[in-house]
Structure 1
Amino acid sequence: MINKSFTDITLDDIKELQQNSVKEGKSIDYKEQININDKSARKELAADITSFANTVGGDLLFGIKEDKGVIKSIVGIEVQNIDYLLQKIENTIRDLVTPRIIGLQIQVIPVLDNNYIIQIRVPQSYNGPHVVDGRRFYGRNSVGKYPLDIDEIRAKFLGLAELGDKIRDYRLDRIFKIKANEGHLKVENQGIISVHIVPMNSLVFGSPFYNLGKPDDLSLWALVSNGITTITDIDGVTGYDRTYNKDQETVGGYHHLSRKGITEIIDTTIIPYDNSLSIVLLSKYLNGVLERVRENMQKLQINGPFVIMISLLNIKGIKINYYNNGFGGRMIRKEDLLLPEVVINDFENLESQLESTILLLCNAAGLNEIPKRTI
């Protein structure tokens, strides 16, 4: 894979691959032509793409003539209607690859007029393994793609299950720390709402550390904020609202982004001192803060899938209602309420993706449906 941000890659970077005799292998592949005019050719393209996704990710470069694995010449592909070709590539991937590969990128690099290199960047996938046409699984090694055998397929499915266990263990560890007031900042230890957004690749051995840049360039507003102060430490960056810092020791909530791309959002202000929680109000603030998470993930080029985990801690005796007027609902008899994990591919249509979670919260309060009225 070319060690450069995808959208910054130019023809000069391709020429540098040629000058340095970079050989195709596990994470890069050169092809002179792209053929998607018949089904067998489309399956071949899908096989190439899934082989990267099921292994370590990589770059497919079309318009490159190679000899013994190194670039012989940059010939480009003559295309009269580039948008039509890109659409056919996307349709091929959509129709033949399941599950969908998250974070896959396609771009064209001009060589001459109507002559392009087509680059497909395939990320290492954490929602696979991916199958071609419902039949064949492919992996990749130093000499190219190959069909996965049954043991390799089983290992990949088991690896996904182990990753799920790691994510759940991470959640429980964070909850224990938050309840013991050992979170990223000290909060009032009552009526705590915690939201964790975990990229699925963040807990894998060797996963990247992200350069978070300047905290002021990130959107680190807490669930409820009238202003924001940011601090940086070895774990990452944290934003909090000094408005709620009543005793100079605790804050009402914070928004933490770790160098692994994991977000932790804590709030103790939505559940007021009359011990009630409005589902409508919580939904409103959740939608707002998750939009800020989306902005951060996009800015830092952190790809999904993501796991969203919403927990209500120290809530025994709190009444959950539809609205602030206390109508409906009932007292919660459990100390903590850990809503099921939600896996999302991206942050599009987030409200509908979280609908089942909000419904479960309603059910926990003895309510049978999600309120239709919004704030």
Structure 2
Amino acid sequence: MLRHVSTVLPGPIDSVDRAVVERLLANGVAESRTLEYKRELPDPKDKEGKREFLADVTSFANAQGGDLLFGVDASKGVPVAIPGLDLEDPDGELLRWEAILQDGVEPRLPGLRLRWIPFASGRGVLLIRMPPSPVAPHRVTFGNWSRFYGRRSNAKYEMDTQELREAFTASEALPARLRSLHLDAVEAARRGDLPIGLGEDPRAIVSVIPLTALRETRELEITPENALAPVKPSGYMDAIEMIEGVLLHTHPGEAGGVRSYAITYRQGRTDTAWTIGRVVDELSKREIRMIWPKRFEDGLLDCACSTAVKLQPFGIEGPWVVLATLIGIRDYHLRINDEWLSDPAWRDEVMLPSLRIDTLNRATLFPLQRSFWLAFGVRRPTNPFNE
């Protein structure tokens, strides 16, 4: 079970259906800092209604995030009926309000999600989910209006100068805090500050962190069954329970080191480390220090996408920050094909440029793949693995 989430509605937004909304009514779940009900959507021609709409959503973004439900009637903050909304084109309406949110707020809202929940009557409820923003504070800039809104209890309010100063300071410090988490993981892999180690072969360390990780207080019930598996576990894994979370690793080899491990933190993020090369003996002629690019690219895609799958049941979604570092690569060649090796890497450690992305997939992770090749002085071929 999840001890704390930023929203009252359970699970990812795509799992919120009619039954979930009806339980709010049946259980008398009152509005709170992370939940608000609205009977109707504002008229698109109503400027005051649009400003109120933008203020409501940004107040969640500037606080702890939350869910806004349109089509639910409430009295003194407690739901009393679900009359729903009568929309001729729900998909078009969602696009309209998403555009209003993106055009009427600075900076743009990362992680914003809208969902139409249909009811049997043909009417439905519009759910807007706004996670706590990593780039807060956001300002409503609709027309000549320029205001910042926060949230306390079950209502929004206009932020004062001191609150704005604190919000801007926290936003500016966020990149450094995320980088620090990743560098801690790199240091642990380099110095062996873990119950297991990877040995001295070239290694990749990847941290996948939801941008809400440092804006929320979480304590996930991570177990060996729901923790992230290491890269290419070969069917055999060992689990180590730690204060921070759960570490899964491959079986140690003859030298005592493992080939890969993954840590799933109770805070809701992951670190994965695995070997990407070794010294090989080419037909008994000479030893060559070799790194295989496919081993890195496959591992990156595996650990990033699997992190999203593992954390989704806890209601954790993007945007994400992905940070990757290569260590122990000096004097190693990138094996591009059977006939072509790169020049040896001249640096022992390289931190690749970080990514901030909404979804984790092959296309969004491509900049890290490209940077990996450039660490060896090679531009990534269009189709390096003939796939």
The 8 Å contact of residues 204 and 296 in structure 2, kept in 1 or not, is answered as no
Shift of the 51–255 alpha-carbon distance from structure 1 to 2, 3 Å rule, reads: same
Q: What is the SS of the residue equivalent to 1:172?
A: helix
Gaps of 5+ in 1: none
Match of 1:351 in 2: 363
1:6-45 counterparts in 2 under 5 A? 7=15, 10-16=20-26, 18=28, 22=30, 24-38=31-45, 40=47, 41-45=49-53
Q: 1:178 aligns with which of 186, 189, 198?
A: 189
Q: What is the SS of the residue equivalent to 1:175?
A: helix
Bigger relative contact order, structure 1 or 2, given CA contacts below 8 A and separation 6+?
2
The 8 Å contact of residues 321 and 330 in structure 1, kept in 2 or not, is answered as no
Q: 1:298 aligns with which of 273, 287, 312?
A: 312
Shift of the 175–324 alpha-carbon distance from structure 1 to 2, 3 Å rule, reads: farther
Shift of the 331–49 alpha-carbon distance from structure 1 to 2, 3 Å rule, reads: same
Shift of the 249–289 alpha-carbon distance from structure 1 to 2, 3 Å rule, reads: same
Deviation at 1:232, TM superposition (A): 4.4
Match of 1:339 in 2: 352
Q: What is the SS of the residue equivalent to 1:351?
A: coil
For residues 266 and 275 of structure 2, what CA distance do their matches in structure 1 show? 25
Q: 1:189 aligns with which of 183, 190, 200?
A: 200
Amino acid at match of 1:77: L
Shift of the 17–58 alpha-carbon distance from structure 1 to 2, 3 Å rule, reads: farther
Shift of the 89–271 alpha-carbon distance from structure 1 to 2, 3 Å rule, reads: farther
Q: 1:152 aligns with which of 163, 182, 187?
A: 163
Deviation at 1:57, TM superposition (A): 1.6
Match of 2:221 in 1: 211
For residues 4 and 300 of structure 1, what CA distance do their matches in structure 2 show? 8
What do the CA deviations read for 1:234-267 (whole angstroms, capped 9, x no partner)?
333333333xx32273211122222222211111
Q: What is the SS of the residue equivalent to 1:334?
A: coil
Deviation at 1:208, TM superposition (A): 0.8
Amino acid at match of 2:363: E
Match of 1:257 in 2: 264
Instruction: State the superposition RMSD in angstroms.
Output: 3.1
For residues 375 and 88 of structure 2, what CA distance do their matches in structure 1 show? 58
In terms of mean alpha carbon deviation, does 2-11 or 339-348 score higher? 2-11
The 8 Å contact of residues 210 and 260 in structure 1, kept in 2 or not, is answered as yes
What do the CA deviations read for 1:33-84 (whole angstroms, capped 9, x no partner)?
1124226233432221111111112222323344444445544333454444
For residues 352 and 10 of structure 1, what CA distance do their matches in structure 2 show? 32
The 8 Å contact of residues 56 and 123 in structure 1, kept in 2 or not, is answered as yes
Match of 2:4 in 1: none
Deviation at 1:275, TM superposition (A): 1.4
Shift of the 184–174 alpha-carbon distance from structure 1 to 2, 3 Å rule, reads: farther
The 8 Å contact of residues 138 and 148 in structure 2, kept in 1 or not, is answered as yes
Deviation at 1:214, TM superposition (A): 5.5
Amino acid at match of 1:13: R
Match of 2:253 in 1: 246
For residues 2 and 290 of structure 1, what CA distance do their matches in structure 2 show? 27
Match of 1:201 in 2: 212
For residues 364 and 21 of structure 2, what CA distance do their matches in structure 1 show? 41
1:303-318 counterparts in 2 under 5 A? 303-318=317-332
Match of 2:124 in 1: 116
User: Percent of aligned pairs with the same residue?
Assistant: 21
TM-score with structure 2 setting the length: 0.80
TM-score with structure 1 setting the length: 0.82
For residues 174 and 24 of structure 2, what CA distance do their matches in structure 1 show? 35
Match of 1:161 in 2: 172
Match of 2:277 in 1: 270
Shift of the 325–284 alpha-carbon distance from structure 1 to 2, 3 Å rule, reads: farther
Shift of the 75–373 alpha-carbon distance from structure 1 to 2, 3 Å rule, reads: closer
Shift of the 12–68 alpha-carbon distance from structure 1 to 2, 3 Å rule, reads: closer
Deviation at 1:311, TM superposition (A): 1.0
Deviation at 1:114, TM superposition (A): 2.8
Q: What is the SS of the residue equivalent to 1:254?
A: strand
Q: What is the SS of the residue equivalent to 1:88?
A: helix
The 8 Å contact of residues 317 and 333 in structure 1, kept in 2 or not, is answered as yes
Deviation at 1:346, TM superposition (A): 1.8
Deviation at 1:185, TM superposition (A): 2.5
For residues 106 and 199 of structure 1, what CA distance do their matches in structure 2 show? 21
For residues 201 and 175 of structure 1, what CA distance do their matches in structure 2 show? 22
Match of 1:373 in 2: 383
Shift of the 54–213 alpha-carbon distance from structure 1 to 2, 3 Å rule, reads: same
What do the CA deviations read for 1:106-162 (whole angstroms, capped 9, x no partner)?
34263x613434333322222333333474432222362233345433322210222
